[in-house]
Amino acid sequence: MEDNTKEKIKDIIRDNEVLLFMKGTPVMPQCGFSAAVVGVLTHMGVKFNSINVLEDAEIREGIKEYSDWPTIPQLYVKNEFVGGCDIIREMHENGELSDYFNNAGISV
């Protein structure tokens, strides 16, 4: 991954408390797994920003290397990689996700 891509990813993760790398946008998700995470965050009333990786091929591949995670979507909370669709769903279903947000100082 190019250095400037890495820097771009680092900066954007640092500058956004809750950031979802997804395919499409929250209003128009282009993949069921991305839509599922948007659904969880919306259901919990969490304010989040998103990056449409379909609009930037460098970020689309770079974020996989950056997180050592092979798929999209990817959720970051306060600079920390939380997981992809299956982990977010599992955490939401067993109540871990609201605890996670509260512990991170994000009220839900």
Partner 1 sequence: MTMTSNEIEELILKSFPNAKITIDDLRGDGDHFAAQVVTEEFRGKSRVQQHQMIYNAMGGRVGKELHALALNTSAPKD
Give the binding site for partner 1 (CB under 8 A). 33, 64, 68-71, 81-87, 90-91
Q: What's the closest the beta carbon of residue 71 comes to partner 1, in angstroms?
A: 5
* CB of 83 vs partner 1, minimal distance in Å: 6
Q: Are 16 and 78 in contact (CB under 8 A)?
A: no
- Checking 77-84 for CB contacts under 8 A at 24+ apart, the result is 77/17, 77/18, 77/19, 77/101, 77/104, 77/106, 78/17, 78/18, 78/104, 78/105, 78/106, 79/13, 79/14, 80/104, 84/33, 84/37
> For residue 38, what are its two tokens?
């948007």
The nearer residue to partner 1, 26 or 73, going by C-beta atoms, is 73
Minimum distance between the CB of residue 70 and partner 1, rounded to whole angstroms? 3
45/70 with CB nearer partner 1: 70
**Distance in Å, CB of 55 to partner 1, minimum:** 19
Nearer to partner 1, 11 or 93 (CB): 93
Residue nearer to partner 1 on the CB measure, 7 or 65 = 65
